[in-house]
Amino acid sequence: MPQPIAPCLWFDGVAEEAANYYVSVFKNSKILTIDRFTGNDPDPDGSVLFVEFEINGQPFQALNGGPMFQFSEAISFSVTCDDQAEVDYYWDTLVGDGGEESHCGWLKDKFGVSWQIVPRRYYEMARDADRRRATQMVQRMFQMSKLDVAELEAAFNQ
């Protein structure tokens, strides 16, 4: 049964591949259901129409809707990481498998879905009461692709 609110990602024939990829990248994730076309549908018997899956308890849906729509940076998924090792893991995995680096912790995976890979410490520093220090750190972040916690800390502590 679908969850009350779940992002539905529109793919062109690779919904099952994408869902399997995401559950392999993110721990505590799983495929919930796979709906396939039947002989009465417009697509061949057995091809995938719809996949429900979870990433760390967050429900997602993947739909094979065709080539009409493409992903854009207007929608992204933000991954809050506990430390640099976790930032490195998600960044290197999503970019290294056919993805594309962007700026300020953003990237596109091999399917064109945008992600923000952000260390938890970034949010703590950005929200610090000392706005001068927070601004210094944010200015350094604007110069990065993958976020580097040590460099952000250094900018914050100048």
- Ramachandran bin of 92, using left for φ above 0, alpha for ψ from -120 to 50, beta for the remaining angles: alpha
Say which CATH superfamily domain 76-156 falls into.
Answer: 2,3-Dihydroxybiphenyl 1,2-Dioxygenase, domain 1 (3.10.180.10)
| Successive 10-residue mean pLDDT values, the chain, 158 residues | 83 97 97 85 73 96 95 96 98 96 98 98 98 98 98 97
Residue 66 burial (CB count, 10 A): 11
Every domain of the chain and the residues it spans:
8-64, 76-156
pLDDT value, residue 24: 97
pTM of the model: 0.91
CATH number of 8-64: 3.30.720.100
